[in-house]
Structure 1
Amino acid sequence: MCNRYGYLAPISRLVDEFSQVRIPIVFRDGALPNLGPREHIRPTNIAPIIRPLDPADPFVGVELVDARWWLIPFFHRKSVKDWKPMCTNARAETVATTATFREAFRRRRCLVPATHFFEWTGERGSKQMWCFTKRDAEIFCFPGLWDVADTTDGRIESFTIITTAPGPDCEPYHNRQPVILEPDQWATWLDLTADPVPCLRAGLEGVIAVERVDEGDALEPGSVL
């Protein structure tokens, strides 16, 4: 499970990372958005996602858009509050067949940019917070799904993050972890003509760095964890 993450890097860095794998990021108004650092992104928060302009060819370009973190599927027609299932995460093992996610898995994949995520250990009332970063990169991407629902509150675009069984770096802290894609997997995940299943695995040992933190501590933009 992953129910807290953040993004602290400048958007220009994200553009550079995608240019290195030959995927241009296209902005609707032609200019870089003024997105401030987000140390803590929580369920129901609005956060940036990256989705392809052409799902059959991600190398044409991708767009950075805001969406609500807690997927509401396209078939939900009532109010946002009436959608009760917590859909911040989708399990890699069942995402292709679960009714809530299977249509988005087939048609609406996205990337969720991040610089870190959090998990907790311990008993209720005395939990310890841990911050996870990628050792070899300031920025990484989770594989995600996005959807759009015409609710009684209006049209809602939302997303979920794919999780899997933990790799050796995360296993001591939780029984699930968000999948972290390598840059050369970004296009594969977005490409609806490609097989995405090999992307949905935990990384090898030593990929993720873990640091104990106090929940009140502030992470400065660009800080190394």
Structure 2
Amino acid sequence: MCGRFIDPNLRGTETELSQIRVDPFPRRFNIKPTEEVLILGRRPDQAQRARWWLVPSWHRGTLAEWKATTFNARIEEAAGKPSFKGAWRYGRCLIPAGGYYEWTGTRGAKQPHAILPAGNAETLYFAGLYSLWQDLMTCTILTRAAGPDTAALHPRMPVILDPEERDAWLSGSEAPDLGAGARLRHHPVARFGLHDDGPQLLEPFDAA
């Protein structure tokens, strides 16, 4: 799953914010569901802000009345789920991230871990879906079974796409192995609260 993630640093990349006509966020290191995030369409100038918690276009109640947990969607199931199947067909996007967090341990003593790109890459590109509900753009992050780099932390992980997979995803691919080759690194970090933020959240912590 993915319940907290980190804004990407897109300066100097092919999707640099100065080129995509979206006002940049001050970089955040503790993004939570229902907050605004950046999503990318098939071209950089299709970048938009979206609320991270998808609401399908057919929802007729208020925002507060949408109770389903839809900030993540299983890639194995999304195409057939009423909440996601419209976005699966018409709302493919990428959600860039600098990394994300997972927690291990028992309730009340959970240890957070920062999960970051391996190698020289700074940005992860999550497979996402978007839905325009009334005048509000909303989105979800696709998840898959965890790969070997993170399976010890959690059985699920975001679908993280390489450059070829990004194009395939946006073009409608339903390949079952999307994101299977993602390489990641991780380390424990100090426990942090709901409203804590800043690059210090990524500093390695000696859990012993």
Normalised TM-score (structure 1): 0.80
Structure 1 residue 8: Cα displacement: 4.2
Structure 1 residue 10: Cα displacement: 4.1
CA contact (8 A) 2:95 2:128 kept: yes
User: Which residue in 1 is equivalent to 2:146?
Assistant: 166
- In the alignment, does 2:84 pair up with 1:108? no
**Correspondent of 2:129 among 120, 145, 161:** 145
**1:160 counterpart letter in structure 2:** T
**Correspondent of 2:23 among 19, 30, 33:** 33
* Residues 15-74 of structure 1, C-alpha deviations (whole Å, 9 max, x = no match): 26x9xxxxxx642xxxx633321111100001111113xxxxx5xx54211000000001
Aligned length: 198
Taking a change above 3 Å as real, the CA distance of residues 185 and 224 of structure 1, as seen in their structure-2 partners, is farther
User: Which residue in 2 is equivalent to 1:98?
Assistant: 81
**1:13 counterpart letter in structure 2:** T
Structure 1 residue 122: Cα displacement: 0.8
User: Which residue in 2 is equivalent to 1:21?
Assistant: none
Q: What's the secondary structure of 1:186's corresponding residue?
A: helix
CA contact (8 A) 1:26 1:62 kept: yes
Bigger drift between 163-172 and 209-218 goes to: 209-218
- In the alignment, does 2:159 pair up with 1:183? no
Cα separation, 2, equivalents of 1:46 and 1:179: 20
- In the alignment, does 2:205 pair up with 1:202? no
Runs (5+) with no aligned partner, structure 1 = 19-24, 53-57
Taking a change above 3 Å as real, the CA distance of residues 167 and 34 of structure 1, as seen in their structure-2 partners, is closer
- In the alignment, does 2:2 pair up with 1:2? yes
Structure 1 residue 114: Cα displacement: 0.3
CA contact (8 A) 1:164 1:179 kept: yes
Cα separation, 2, equivalents of 1:51 and 1:89: 18
Q: What's the secondary structure of 1:132's corresponding residue?
A: strand
Q: What's the secondary structure of 1:188's corresponding residue?
A: helix
CA contact (8 A) 2:75 2:143 kept: yes
CA contact (8 A) 1:4 1:118 kept: yes
CA contact (8 A) 1:92 1:162 kept: yes
CA contact (8 A) 2:3 2:33 kept: yes
Structure 1 residue 4: Cα displacement: 0.4
CA contact (8 A) 1:181 1:199 kept: no
Structure 1 residue 211: Cα displacement: 0.8
Q: What's the secondary structure of 1:163's corresponding residue?
A: strand
CA contact (8 A) 1:185 1:199 kept: no
**2:3 counterpart letter in structure 1:** N
Cα separation, 2, equivalents of 1:40 and 1:161: 16
Structure 1 residue 163: Cα displacement: 0.2
Provide runs of 4+ in structure 1 moved above 6 Å: none
Cα separation, 2, equivalents of 1:8 and 1:214: 21
**1:164 counterpart letter in structure 2:** R
Cα separation, 2, equivalents of 1:215 and 1:7: 19
Structure 1 residue 100: Cα displacement: 0.8
Cα separation, 2, equivalents of 1:78 and 1:158: 15
